[in-house]
Amino acid sequence: MALTVVWFRDDLRISDNPALAAAADSGDDVVACYVLDDGTAGIRPLGGASRWWLHHSLAALAASLDELGIPLVLRRGAAEEVLPALVREASAHAVVWNRRYGLVERTTDSALKASFADQGVQATSYQANLMYEPWEVTSGSGEAYKVFTPFWRACLTFRTPREPLPAPESLHGPVLGSDDLDAWGLLPTPDWAQGLRETWTPGEAGAHARLDDFLEDAAHGYKDNRDRPAVQGTSRLSPHLRFGEISPFEVWHAAQDRKDSSTAEDLRVFGAELGWREFSWQLLYFNPELATVNYRPEFNAFAWESSTKAELEAWQRGRTGYPLIDAGMRQMWEIGWMHNRVRMATASFLIKNLMIDWRVGEKWFWDCLVDADAASNAASWQWVAGSGADASPYFRIFNPVLQSKKFDPEGAYLVRFVPELAEAQNVHEPWKGTAPGYPDPVVDLKESRQRALSAYKALSEG
């Protein structure tokens, strides 16, 4: 019987998985595999929260494949060695996978395709994780768009996202040796993941449950509520999208199907957020060093690092003395996710009030977020710094006090993640009264704002 290997990567799902669907349609025996690639130089190691997620996501995928009739084969090492070895072992005539867009990943995939072709093994890749491949909708000069709005408008005019594919009904194939998932050590020791376990259900079923809940409930009023961190006003689909447990096509069409006169505007805004994900990936595709190199080279001369280690640690641990910043950083510490508005405020605080290089923050988020995404994280940090494409202007410095007063007026979010603030006389400005157990501000907002503005002005004057 002919055999096809399906190589799973950032697409840990069985529905709307074009590579898996192609293997199923071929009628071949199928071997499904996942390679933990800690052997290819340049592949960015996952952060702690993402490793936790990956463990559970793989367990969920293995269970789904098992129900379809085949096991998930786990192998570890450099993909360029491990995958060909598996193909030989299985005597496969074909390999299929869904495309990924980072430079090292693309280089690996191209090299594999070429070497499989030399050996007479057919290797085919599919579009699965972005609705628009980064090279499809480019600016007039054939480069990445620099501004989001024209990019997204051009995407929507270019093509309506295709309909999702159904999951295969059943699969058949041999049983090959597999690593033991538990032995990969993706789960943390000591165990700090209780908050993650209580908050998330990694895997495809969890992703679809989230989507259904969102469309049923939070989608109504999303446009306004998405800015209120105390409310579950957003979908929280980001880690599921990151690991490909649900495809953007599935999310897009489910949202379109639910549109009616009362939700049309909310779901248009939600669709545009999916567009920001696509925009970020186009930026990364054309600027592979987006996580480490300023998109605007003039920022290379910026005078970072005037803060102390103690200030950085205060930010990381949520002890800056500014309630919104501390609530956000502790939310991320506790559940591996932070509300978008608070991500912007905490990033702005690190970069502009503490004057710490955005790359330091990008790395911390990479380690702590369950949705840590090579493109969205890097693009967003550069957006806040002002060094990125379509970036926030340098004079936009989020004031954490005004932000919490506006978007969390009752202080419910603040108290939820900084419980000692329940005792504070003034929850938004605890230094104006008694606040037992809560730290004093690490910097003065006004002075640090002025310092940042001067530094940014000096940069713009060259």
Q: Which residues are catalytic?
A: 273, 276, 304, 340, 358, 381
- Name the nearest CA neighbour of 343 among 356, 359, 325: 325
**Residue selected from 349, 381, 407, 417 as contacting ligand FAD according to rule CB under 6 A:** 381
φ, ψ of residue 382 to 5 degrees: the values are: -70, -30
Residue among 205 and 272 whose Cβ is closer to ligand FAD: 272
Looking at the Cβ atoms of 136 and 273, the one nearer to ligand FAD is: 273
| Residue 49 touches ligand FAD, criterion: CB under 6 A | no
Q: How many CB atoms lie within 10 A of CB 7?
A: 24
Rounded to whole angstroms, the Cα distance separating 385 from 273 reads 20
One residue of 370, 384, 389, 435 binding ligand FAD per CB under 6 A: 384
Q: Given the complex with ligand FAD, which of 178 and 340 has the nearer CB atom?
A: 340
Q: Which of these, 164, 129, 176, lies nearest to 8 by C-alpha position?
A: 129
In this structure, what token pair is assigned to residue 132? Answer: 């628009």
Among the listed residues 223, 177, 210, 202, the one whose alpha carbon sits nearest the alpha carbon of residue 51: 202
- Of 271-279, 290-298, 388-396, 417-425, the segment contacting ligand FAD by CB under 6 A is 271-279
| Site membership for ligand FAD, residue 368 (CB under 6 A) | no
Q: In the chain, what's the furthest Cα-to-Cα distance?
A: 76
- Alpha helix segments (H runs only) across 142-263: 148-158, 194-199, 204-216, 222-225, 238-242, 248-258
Q: CA 341, CA 226: separation in Å to the nearest integer? A: 8
Residue choice 23, 24, 31, 372 for contact with ligand FAD (CB under 6 A): 372
Smallest distance from ligand FAD to CB 236, Å: 4
Sole window of 66-74, 110-118, 238-246, 401-409 interacting with ligand FAD (rule: CB under 6 A): 238-246
Amino acid at 165: L
Minimum distance, C-beta of residue 343 to ligand FAD, in the bound complex (Å) = 4
Site string for ligand FAD, 190-229 (x = CB under 6 A): ------------------------------------x---
| Nearer to ligand FAD (CB atom), residue 53 or residue 438 | 53
Please, what is the end-to-end C-alpha distance for the chain in angstroms?
Answer: 68
Instruction: Output helix, strand, coil percentages for the chain, rounded to the nearest 5.
Output: 50, 5, 40
Stretch that binds ligand FAD, among 10-18, 57-65, 165-173, 275-283 (CB under 6 A): 275-283
Query: Which stretches of the chain bind ligand FAD, using CB under 6 A?
Result: 226, 234-238, 241-242, 273-274, 276-277, 280, 340, 343-344, 347, 365, 369, 371-373, 376-377, 380-381, 384
